[in-house]
Amino acid sequence: MNAHIKKVYIPMTETGFYILLCLMEENHGYNIVKKVEKLTEGEIIISPGTMYGSLAKMEKDNLIKFVREENKRKIYIITELGKQILDIELKRIKRLHKNISEVFYYEK
């Protein structure tokens, strides 16, 4: 993996992370917005400008690829590179989670 991609995407923004996660299956931008809203119980509502920019950038960087267009909505799916990035990020988040419980355990 190229160092530039790693530098840009890790650690990931919350929006970027959810977009990649939702693209483990074929999806279009608006569907991702709705899905993330549901997953986070309304905590995160991705705005269209942010969504459009993120999808375009991720497509350019080969993290996701265009599948087809339906009703003027572009459908994307994650690529191998995207999965690698997501995997690194998942490991990082798991480590954070583990460390949080460790520190709190010792403090008690």
Stretch that binds another protein, among 12-20, 83-91, 99-107 (CB under 8 A): 12-20
Under the binding rule (CB under 8 A), the answer on residue 82 touching another protein is: no
List 68, 73, 95, 98, residue binding another protein (CB under 8 A): 73
Report the length, in residues, of the chain: 108
- Contact in structure between 81 and 1 (CB atoms under 8 Å): yes
Under the binding rule (CB under 8 A), the answer on residue 71 touching another protein is: yes
Under the binding rule (CB under 8 A), the answer on residue 62 touching another protein is: no
Least distance from C-beta 108 to another protein, angstroms? 35
- Contact in structure between 77 and 64 (CB atoms under 8 Å): yes
CA 6/CA 92 separation, integer angstroms? 13
Structure tokens at 87: 């995997």
Least distance from C-beta 70 to another protein, angstroms? 11
| Sign (positive or negative) of CA dihedral 3, 89, 40, 61 | positive
CA 18/CA 51 separation, integer angstroms? 11
List 49, 101, 106, 107, residue binding another protein (CB under 8 A): 49
Which residues of this protein are in contact with another protein, per CB under 8 A?
13-16, 29-30, 33, 42, 44-54, 56-57, 69, 71-74
